[in-house]
Amino acid sequence: MITGESDVLLVIDVQNDFCPGGALAVPRGDEVVPIINRLAGRFANVVLTQDWHPPGHLSFASAHPGRRPFEMTTAAYGPQVLWPDHCVQGTPGADFHPSVTIPHAALVLRKGMRRTIDSYSAFYENDRKTPTGLVGYLRERNLTHIFLAGLAFDFCVRYSAEDAARAGFAVTVIEDACRGIDMEGSVAATHRSFESLTIPRVWENDFS
Ligand SMILES: [Zn+2]
């Protein structure tokens, strides 16, 4: 594969809290950093996303008395996993991993700012209706093929890939530039979803 002017690398949530030592660490999440740095060098267009919650966010178990992280709750828009407090606006945990080096990234898109709605996807919040504005940004810039990398494979990368495909973009997931949480078979479910949407999975070595 050779990347072109209409391709964009969308880097999902490579933040301290999602890396080992962070509040919601994805196992071996930090391993994606050098891979993504190398990949970013192949793309003229790069967008970074940043999970960016206010204190007391609805997705935090701590906001629900008596509930614990990784339990399910029901939000107004449907089922919602309760997470440890993570990526609180302006805290070190919300910062990008310090080794992320992508100075030519054109946009940092923050998501999950509304206290009562979580946002796994870079495109729509978890109510599936509230847009982040990213579809409009990509369309206006004539970026038609989205390559996805980042954390976590089976949540924010998955939802972003699915929404991008539904919005009509060509979508490719760079598998070795992602790491997953794998809750109750969520990685296998992600692979099945990508197959059903014919979203290809590639590896860094596929780029030349
Ligand atoms: Zn979050």
Kindly report, residue by residue over 154-166, the tens digit of the pLDDT: 999 999 999 999 9
For residue 208, is pLDDT > 90? no
Helical (H) or strand (E) element with 162: helix 158-166
Beta strand residue intervals within the chain, DSSP E: 7-12, 46-51, 72-75, 78-81, 107-111, 145-151, 170-179, 201-202
- What is the distance in A from the centroid of ligand 1 to the CA of 156? 9
β-bridge pairing 72-75 and 78-81: antiparallel
Q: Is the pTM of this model over 0.75?
A: yes
**Token pair belonging to 91:** 């805290």
Question: Does a cis peptide bond (omega within 30 degrees of 0) precede residue 152?
Answer: yes
Catalytic machinery residues: 13, 111, 156
**Token pair belonging to 22:** 């962070």
- Taking a 5 Å cut-off on Cβ, the residues next to ion ligand 1 are 51, 112
Mean pLDDT score of the chain: 96
Overall size of the chain counted in residues: 208
Beta-bridge mates of residue 145: 7, 170
Q: What is the distance between the alpha carbons of residues 77 and 118, in angstroms, rounded to a whole number? A: 10
Nearest to 49 by CA among 15, 96, 13, 25: 13
Tokens 């924010």 sit on residue = 156
Tokens 């891979």 sit on residue = 35
- What is the distance in A from the centroid of ligand 1 to the CA of 27? 16
- What is the distance in A from the centroid of ligand 1 to the CA of 4? 31
How is residue 96 annotated by DSSP? B
- Tell me: the pLDDT tens digits for 16-72? 999 999 999 999 999 999 999 999 999 999 999 999 999 999 999 999 999 999 999
- What is the distance in A from the centroid of ligand 1 to the CA of 50? 9
Nearest to 151 by CA among 79, 89, 85, 97: 97
- What is the distance in A from the centroid of ligand 1 to the CA of 205? 30
